[in-house]
Amino acid sequence: MTTVAIAAGPARRHGEADAPPFALAALAMTVLAFGLRAWDFGNPVLDLDEQWYLLVGDRMLHGAVPFLDLWDRKPVGLFLLYALMRLLPGDGIVAYQAVATLFAGLTAAILVTLARRAGAAPRGAWAAGALYLLSASVIGGQGGQAPVFYNLPVALAALLTLRLPDLIDRQGGLAMARSGAAACLLVGVAIQIKYTAAFEGLFVGVAHLWALRRAGGGWWRTLGWGAAWAIAGLLPTLVAAAAYARMGASAWHAFWFANFVSITLRHGYPVAKVLGNLAGILAQIAPLILATGLAIRSAWRTRPLGGGYRLVLAWLGAALVGFACIGTFHDHYALPLLGPLAVAGAPALVRTRTLLIVLAAASAVFAGERLAMPDDARTVRDVAALVKARTGAGCPYVVMGDPVIYHLADACVPTAYAFPNTLAQAIEQGSTGIDEAAEVTRIMAGRPPVVVMSDRRRTIWNVDSLRAVRRVLRRDYALVGRFPRGTYHLIVYARRRSVA
């Protein structure tokens, strides 16, 4: 049986001198991140969501306002981040992927430090960073999904939180108060990238409140600092809300509905699909789950858990709540689990055999995912070229396909609801604040010069929306292109000249 030593706070302080310098960890993990991800640079179709984020960020630089001109549920901070990355040279695709890789590498470096503070041996700490990068690349984190960016401020907040046992020993009340403010502000930034980070923010705030009380803080002082930390965590979102309120009542309503109401109106996926998604995620991150299970079992049997390790488990619990709350279990929803899982599992990797088994399994999953991933970059660029050539002065309409087509074709969008799933999937029906089929009818009545469809078979299409498209396609459009896209095809229709 593997024996894992989970040191308590004071013992860990004596061992911190042999933790790798952060600059070395950052360099090593960033090099590894680029090595694992660079071959995807320039691929415009790594994930549907990040295609959309890039499109919105690009259009913000031309005056578009999220939730008004382009509708989505994600916080405006995510789109601001993509707008900033769009300022870098090129068409934005390599730029956002390179920046995301840098974020991933820095996050992994912080996990190395966190693992040492939580009681892991040096080899286990290094492995934690490597496992994070390997696992992220197989569950939708090989590009610029939101958690790839927000895991960095959350990991920094966790690093501050794991210092709390030391501060308790020193009765460092003022240092603890400052730590809580900084940690909550970091999580507040993460919340403006994706709202599910609020659960990890709750962990950070509660942990600091607990520590302040343990350090001798009175109830009134603890409550006062707790209020200040809550404000720090909410501050980025309050700033975003204030910006929309200044635009007027309609802008404020659009912001409030998109960010906080529409998700409650969204329908669920079929149970079989949800369970299938969950099973896939568990299989993909099984090496991390195995390491964490071994570490917890061994620590529980051999000695009381140290304060730092208990905090890591609490962090993992908060991340699990955030993962479960949405309930659809798309693979990238598990990205926030990888950080706490890697840190929690690091102490189990002290033995060479266990270390090699876990790393080999993670590498095998990574290699399998890479081999199975279709290379559709050329296909979508060809579709975009055809759309651009056929569009002229009008706006094409991507009904079922990749939103990056608008970006690559340098085309206008015919609707604020241009993310294809919003109008084309039944799970969104009634959750957008509009009649989705009526919006599709309006778009088609505007005679888009090009329409992009697909022959992908799914049970969750909005049949009313698709009926409104197909009725007009049969009458007024001609098939001009059919392109393979994974297991299905993208189909391009152009408006016939006789009805133009």
Ranges of each domain in the chain: 9-372, 377-499
* Three-state DSSP string of 447-459: CCCEEEEECCCCC
* Percent of the chain residues past pLDDT 70, beyond the cut: 95
Q: What is the average per-residue pLDDT within 80-91? A: 97
Instruction: Look over the chain and give the mean of its residue pLDDT values, rounded to a whole number.
Output: 92
Question: Higher pLDDT residue, 14 or 403?
Answer: 403
Pairing, β 450-454 against β 488-495: antiparallel
Among 169, 187, 140, smallest CA distance to 8 is for 169
Give the contacts of 84 (CB within 8 A, at least 6 positions apart): 57
**pTM of the prediction?**
0.93
Q: What is the average per-residue pLDDT within 49-76? A: 98
440-450: b (≥16 Cβ within 10 Å) or e: bbebbeebbbb
Residue listed under structure tokens 């620590």: 299
Instruction: Give the model's pLDDT for residue 498.
Output: 58
Dump pLDDT digits (tens) for 225-237: 999 999 999 999 9
Instruction: Judge contact between 243 and 230, C-beta under 8 A.
Output: no
Residue listed under structure tokens 């071959």: 39
Which amino acid, residue 21? P
Give the separation between CA 373 and CA 331, rounded to whole angstroms.
Answer: 14
